[in-house]
A and B are shown apart, each in its own frame.
Chain A
């Protein structure tokens, strides 16, 4: 009965996303909300009363221990349905090992010291696990690509954890199956420690979605686990739950989290948590809707990376962005600088700009270079990214004082030139251009141009003006976000529309 109900419930969610992805995200009318709330109350209430009878079961597996479905694992408002995890045999978790000796052909290892000893695993190297989430699989491109990129910059044991038999089930079941795989990973780490003398501090688990909570379970069972990275940890059944159930700073010595889909599941179908659950919590683009995810259906599915990647993005674009940013950050740490801030409005308005000395960590792979003060956790960081690969961006504050022959309607743009090339033109202001006024805007440029040498100003409007107005920037100040450095540029001449004015360093 219960399973039947849930089975109908889960495809229901998926279908509705297909129908209504964009309208849902962009606007919600007032009639809309009560209907959804009612629906939620109905379903949860219904399930709630069906629950009580089956509570209190337990299942034990060899070497992994016992798993009960008592509180807080079920019977709470967040997790109404009791459900026991499947056996390790049924889940059939595979551990796919890549090292520098075999970067292209993987080896399969298991929780068996002899199998590990016979593989290319070496205890002197760091070990990084990557695990996927709901409905995904471990031999998916993104896990392999991430392994290969990490191997290109460091010598590690990279283990992709595949648990597709356990993830392709009802959500409730998958959300409980992760406890078994977490226990298996913890058991494997204990083998690393006892048979090969690898310290758990040199082990890192990267988990996407449900995989983030899977990593948390492994971390809870492993004292002094080095690091857990949660890539958009799953929201349903975890948000608001006690720390035992979900990812939490206590699960490892260092926990960093990237939030990319943090709107509520109902009604926005956001799959990720908004709650801060790590030492460092990054909210790129505000953490709710990612640029490049609002494309029309055909453009989204017929993706540059193929139809399969496009279909994945069509279903859960925001949710999947988390591992794309993470993969990008491996080779390019500086392009993902996070600014400490309390929310996206403050970040956009410039209150959190620029960085104080060493207060900004890099989002993603290199976030562990940041010194976390002992006892401090759930620090929130904001940054913006691009809408397609490469996602890296560099933030500047541009302050422009303009002068001209008369007030006119139009827009103006500024391009930055440095010793390392130049950026595109970024629109600073659109509307009335009044001589003598100063305009200010924060921009995220696509290129690291290093020390600025000059800037260019250009203005234009869409209407013909027979009075032939001229404008020029008298003063442009550019402040670099990462180190607060100010670059000042001066200009004297005025230019006609659509003509570039070059401003050089003030004398």
Chain B
């Protein structure tokens, strides 16, 4: 009985060893949303998001138009993600904000803003 099990386990081990991993996801870079990250460059979405200063950071989708966003910072993680392509994070910039990483704003379309101002 035990011999059979040992053989079965060996077979399984061989089978596992011979499989090749061909998935596109990464461990260090190219991370999917929801995976733990240290800096935004690791994420496919290029936003490494954390809820608060003490919480863990995970990759998250970038902010869509009219959502709250952060301006680009050197910290590598954000409390609100940066905006999607073509959008600008419209909000006040301050030195204090850039130190504590809280230069928040709202994603706007710069072209649309121009036309409405005119």
Q: Which residues of A contact B (CB under 8 A)?
A: 1, 4-5, 8, 12, 16, 19-20, 22-24, 26-29, 31-32, 35-36, 38-39, 42-43, 46, 267, 292, 294-296, 298-299, 302, 304, 387-388, 413, 415, 417, 421-425, 456, 458, 460, 498-500, 502
Contact = CB atoms under 8 A, between A and B. Distances in A.
Contacts of A16: 12, 16
B29 interface: no
Contacts, number: 115
21 contacts: A4-B1, A16-B12, A22-B21, A23-B16, A24-B16, A29-B18, A35-B12, A38-B11, A42-B8, A292-B34, A294-B32, A295-B34, A299-B31, A299-B35, A387-B33, A387-B34, A423-B64, A424-B64, A456-B65, A456-B109, A502-B109
- Listed residue (B12, B25, B35, B112) with the most chain A CB atoms within 10 angstroms of its CB: B12
Contacts of B56: 302
B87 interface: yes
A299 B36 contact: yes
A413 B64 CA distance: 12
B5 interface: yes
Nearest to B16: A20
Interface string B81-118: 00011110000000000000000000001011000000
B52 interface: no
Contacts of A38: 11
A415 B16 contact: no
A382 to B, nearest CB: 23
Given A12-B9, A23-B16, A29-B18, A296 B25 contact: yes
Q: Is the interface of A mostly helix, strand, loop or mixed?
A: mixed
Contacts of B65: 415, 417, 422, 456
A388 B58 CA distance: 12
Nearest to A22: B23
A35 B21 contact: no
Contact of A425 (B12, B15, B22, B85): B85
A300 to B, nearest CB: 9
Contacts of A425: 64, 84-85
A499 B14 CA distance: 53
Contact of B11 (A27, A39, A299, A413): A39
A29 B4 contact: no
A498 B86 CA distance: 5
A28 B34 contact: no
A294 B30 CA distance: 13
B109 A26 contact: no
Contacts of B25: 294, 296
A77 B35 CA distance: 41
Contacts of A36: 11-12, 15
Contacts of A388: 33-34
B85 A299 contact: no
A385 to B, nearest CB: 14
Contact of A39 (B1, B8, B85): B8
B27 interface: yes
Contacts of B58: 299, 304
A267 B87 contact: no
A295 B32 contact: yes
Nearest to B84: A425
Interface string B27-60: 1000111111000000000000000000010100
Contacts of A12: 5, 9
Given A415-B65, A423-B64, A32 B18 contact: yes
A460 B111 CA distance: 16
A29 B19 CA distance: 6
A321 B14 CA distance: 31
A19 B12 CA distance: 11
Contacts of A499: 86, 111
A4 B1 CA distance: 10
A23 B21 contact: yes
A29 B14 CA distance: 12
Contacts of A19: 16
Contacts of A24: 16, 19
Given A292-B34, A458-B86, 19 more contacts: A4-B1, A12-B9, A16-B12, A20-B19, A22-B23, A23-B16, A24-B19, A27-B23, A29-B20, A35-B11, A35-B12, A43-B4, A296-B35, A387-B34, A415-B65, A422-B65, A423-B64, A499-B86, A500-B109
Contact of A1 (B1, B4, B31): B1
Contacts of A8: 5
Nearest to A386: B33
Contacts of A43: 4, 8
Contacts of B34: 292, 295, 299, 387-388
Contacts of B64: 415, 422-425
B36 A302 contact: yes
A387 B44 CA distance: 15
A460 B87 CA distance: 13
B7 to A, nearest CB: 8
A50 to B, nearest CB: 10
